[in-house]
Amino acid sequence: MAGKTPISRKPVNFYVPIVAAFGALAGLFVGTAQGSGFLGLIIGAVLLGAMAFVATQIIKTERPTKWGFTVLLAVGGLLLGGIPGLVIGALFGWFFGWLTWWLYEGRYREKLAPYLTPGQVLWHFTFRVICGAIFVFLITPILVVMPLSFNSQDFFTFTPEMLRFEAEGYSLKHYRDFLTNNDWQNALRNSVLIAPAATLLSVSFGTLAAIGLSSEHVPFRRAIMAILISPMIVPLIISAAGMYFFYSRIGLQGTYFGVVLAHAALGIPFVIITVTATLVGFDRSLTRAAANMGANPVTTFFRVQMPLILPGVISGGLFAFITSFDEVVVVLFVGSAGQKTLPWQMFTGLREQISPTILAVATILVTLSILLLATVELLRRRSERLRGMSPG
Amino acid sequence: MKVVPALLAETALSVPALPVLADGHMASEMTIVSWGGAYSKSQLRAYHEPYSANTGVEIINDDSSAEAVAKLRAMNEAGNVTWDVVDVVAADAIRLCDEGLALEIDADTQLAAAPDGTPASEDFGDLLVSDCFIPQIVYSTTFGYRTDLVGDTAPTSVCAVFDTETYPGKRSLEKRPINNMEWALICDGVAKADVYDVLETEEGQNQALAKLDTIKDDVIWWSAGADTPQLLADGEVVMGSTYNGRLFSVIEEQNQPVAMLWDAQVFDLDGWIIPTGLSPERQARALDYIMFATDTQRLADQAKYISYGPARASSAPLVGKHADLGIEMAPHMPTDPNNAQNTFLYNYEFWADYRDDIDAKFQAWLAQ
């Protein structure tokens, strides 16, 4: 894309202090890890400010100086922290080389509208940094789990061998444990049996309820809606305790069917909400038109209404599935050891035996969730494209 | 309307089917509740597997001992006791027995005698702390320390925990007053024999808390037995208290640079109870299991898999080598004479009387 704004080189007193400030921040981290944060801060600021000055004012060619930054900081990292230091140093170097030239050449201004004030430009980039920080905050705990799951030790620890990227530091033994251990395999089987059954019940009941509640002649619609949504609002532990006593008396406690019913009750609100939302955009005259042409209500539902509200039904079903698949409180009450699900096994595992097998399972589940969501999203886009609802 | 009749049919079929299913379960399955982890595994190999092989009964493990008292109360209230045998610490067994939630056992007629004919009540001796409790192991809560973080002089006394000058760094302690109050008093100059007399008084409790206050900023509080091993392996703490079996696993099985500080270890008991409210046939089978699982040989067998001392006097000579590592287990038992030079027995009566008071004080102190 061509630039909106003509760009020009910036004066030294603009970009060198900025690079130095970023250098100070990086220096603070490195310094704290090495024992003195303050010293690191000073060294980082001076070093990177000087490097930025030399690169732009003395050497003056972009590509070699960018490589220079990368190599120099990589070597520095290697001296301080070995192989991991090398990788981190190289990344830092690449970033600072890019930052220096990006600021010096004024490229940051290129794609922004010409009339923005410096304050607005600053905010534009600050906003992006904040968004990035939030993203990192949300994602890091999930990512940290993944390398730890390949730990060759039985603790949640980055061992020195792992940090040096030595092969002995890594192993697949926790994955092997998950795949061969009876406890985990039973838990997996239970989860895979219970979640789809609960989803099926939630989707069937939830969709029917949403359709019923969206037609105007139903009395006490709001009250019924509130009751049906309540499992989502009442604290889970209250529902769980209530279900426990109720199911115990009618003989459902400690049975698969009991757990499926309990999870279905938890999933129904999600289906009702998403389907109700899609029904808002559903044109009721279509059902009348279908009836006019001789279709009975069932045919109308499956041939006319269902295809149009399907995205809502599917996303509700996904939520219901995830609710059941992730649920630990209710199953602890309503289930017995025979219905132990994966989250239950992970919960007791964390409490009694902090074993990285839990991390291996977590990694597998995260990967599966990503694949599942990606598939659903791709299917949704495909169907929208086929139906001509989106230009893509 | 295909969906609804199908669902109704399913419901109609399932409900009458349930009691039949339940009875079918009862004949061949029993649920045994324990603590999980390496401990449950040791029971699986020493007790469950041979019992299943002998009788054909399938045993389901439920790792719920941590909340056993609350769950048994709930089951009793709901009139639906689903557990057959439960592994609890002695203090919980005493509470459950007082509340009528655990079955009273007559040691001499319902437990196996020692091979030489000594009746069970003598073989277990003082460890039969409650009429409902069948002791299984003696374990201890003690300290482990990082050998590479304590400098040249390895700690030999429990008071090293309170000595942050010689041993700087964090230490992990259990988030409850029990044991911590006793250790604090011992290290504040109170003689071992007087500890509980001092702890009965308001001043004594304040004295213990004041001693704990000197290290409060250096303490990481744990609530699960697996926490301290993790913290030690991480090097997050220099020393920490936990169950001796956990430390054994860290040192011998995981090869971490950790050593035991047996000084002032606190002995406690763990064992079985049978819940009340079981059907006669389930109760009979639970009793049959208990008779088998707590005989002299079985208790000695468990010590092959985990370093907890068997509760029967007659089992001690039979303790052999670790099943996988092949090392002698006797030197790793908390009851071994070398380890038991300075020990402490958890005082059940004292803590039964004072627990609520001291707990409240301790929690208030923690929150300060």
Q: Provide mean pLDDT across the span B257-263.
A: 92
Is the CB of B18 inside 8 Å of chain A's CB atoms? yes
Q: What are phi and psi of B306, to 5 degrees?
A: -155, 150
Residue type, position A101, single letter: W
pLDDT computed for residue B260 by the predictor: 93
Domain positions in chain A are 12-115, 181-355
Q: What topology is assigned to A181-355 in CATH? A: MetI-like fold (1.10.3720)
pLDDT computed for residue B344 by the predictor: 82
Global pTM reads 0.78
Distance from C-alpha of A364 to C-alpha of A177, rounded to nearest angstrom? 13
**Greater pLDDT, A134 or B26:** A134
Residues in chain A: 392
Distance from C-alpha of A305 to C-alpha of B159, rounded to nearest angstrom? 75
Task: Compare CB distances from B35 to A249, A251, A352 and report the shortest one's residue.
Answer: A352
Q: Provide mean pLDDT across the span B310-324.
A: 87
Cβ separation of A352 and B225 shorter than 8 Å? yes
pLDDT computed for residue B274 by the predictor: 96
Q: Is A91 exposed, middle or buried (0-12, 13-18, 19+ CB in 10 A)?
A: middle
**Pseudo-torsion of CA A177, A182, A187, A191, nearest 10°?**
90
Tens digit of each residue's pLDDT (9 = 90 or more) over A205-264: 999 999 999 888 888 988 999 999 998 899 999 999 999 999 998 989 889 999 999 999
Cβ separation of B36 and A208 shorter than 8 Å? no
**Greater pLDDT, A260 or B40:** A260
pLDDT computed for residue B5 by the predictor: 44
Which positions in chain B touch A339 (Cβ < 8 Å)?
A: none
| Model-level ipTM above the cut of 0.85 | no
Distance from C-alpha of B36 to C-alpha of B49, rounded to nearest angstrom? 16
- Buried/exposed B325-363: b ≥16 CB within 10 Å, e otherwise: eeeebbebbbbbeebbeebbebbbebbeebeeebeebbe
Contacts of B157 (CB under 8 A, 6+ apart): B261, B263, B264
pLDDT computed for residue B153 by the predictor: 87
Tens digit of each residue's pLDDT (9 = 90 or more) over A348-366: 888 777 788 899 999 998 8
pLDDT computed for residue A37 by the predictor: 83
pLDDT computed for residue B358 by the predictor: 92
Q: In whole angstroms, how far apart are CA A52 and each of A60, A106, B285?
A: 10, 14, 80
Q: In whole angstroms, how far apart are CA A131 and each of A99, A102, A112, A124, B39?
A: 19, 20, 18, 11, 47
pLDDT computed for residue B8 by the predictor: 41
Is the CB of B236 inside 8 Å of chain A's CB atoms? no
pLDDT computed for residue A274 by the predictor: 92
Where does the pLDDT of residue B27 fall: very low under 50, low under 70, confident under 90, or very high at 90 and above?
low
Q: Which domains does chain B have, with CATH numbers?
A: 27-138+270-331 (3.40.190.10), 141-267+336-367 (3.40.190.10)
Which positions in chain A touch B82 (Cβ < 8 Å)?
A: 253-254, 336
Lowest mean pLDDT among A237-241, B53-57, B318-322: B318-322
Residue with the two structure tokens 């982890």: B37
Beta bridge partners of B137: B270, B310
**Phi/psi zone of residue B179: left (φ > 0), alpha (ψ -120 to 50 degrees), beta?**
left
pLDDT for B83 beyond 50: yes
Contacts of A113 (CB under 8 A, 6+ apart): A4, A5
pLDDT for B234 beyond 50: yes
Going by C-alpha positions, the residue among B335, B352, B292 that lies closest to residue B142 is B335
pLDDT computed for residue B197 by the predictor: 92
Task: Compare CB distances from A155 to B78, B82, B230 and report the shortest one's residue.
Answer: B230
pLDDT computed for residue B24 by the predictor: 41
Give Dmax (Cα) for chain A. Answer: 85
Compute the half-sphere exposure of residue A18: CA atoms within 13 Å on the CB side of its CA: 17
pLDDT for A265 beyond 80: yes
pLDDT for B366 beyond 60: yes
The overall average pLDDT reported for chain B is: 87
pLDDT for B315 beyond 80: yes
Is the CB of B280 inside 8 Å of chain A's CB atoms? no
For B32, the closest chain A residue by CA position comes to: A337
pLDDT computed for residue A206 by the predictor: 95
Q: Is B44 exposed, middle or buried (0-12, 13-18, 19+ CB in 10 A)?
A: middle
Beta bridge partners of B140: B267
The overall average pLDDT reported for chain A is: 88
Q: What percent of chain A has pLDDT over 90?
A: 41
pLDDT for B180 beyond 60: yes
Residue with the two structure tokens 């998950």: A178
pLDDT computed for residue A386 by the predictor: 72
For A348, the closest chain B residue by CA position comes to: B63
CA distance B116 to chain A (A): 38
Q: Provide mean pLDDT across the span A273-280.
A: 90
pLDDT computed for residue A390 by the predictor: 52
CA distance A374 to chain B (A): 29
Cβ separation of B19 and A251 shorter than 8 Å? yes
Contacts of B160 (CB under 8 A, 6+ apart): B145, B166, B167, B239, B261
Answer whether A261's CB lies under 8 Å from A205's CB.
no
pLDDT computed for residue A388 by the predictor: 64
DSSP, res A392: -
Cβ separation of A154 and B254 shorter than 8 Å? yes
CB atoms within 10 A of CB B204: 19
Distance from C-alpha of A8 to C-alpha of A20, rounded to nearest angstrom? 21
- Buried/exposed A265-275: b ≥16 CB within 10 Å, e otherwise: bbbbbbbbbbb
Q: What percent of chain B has pLDDT over 70?
A: 93
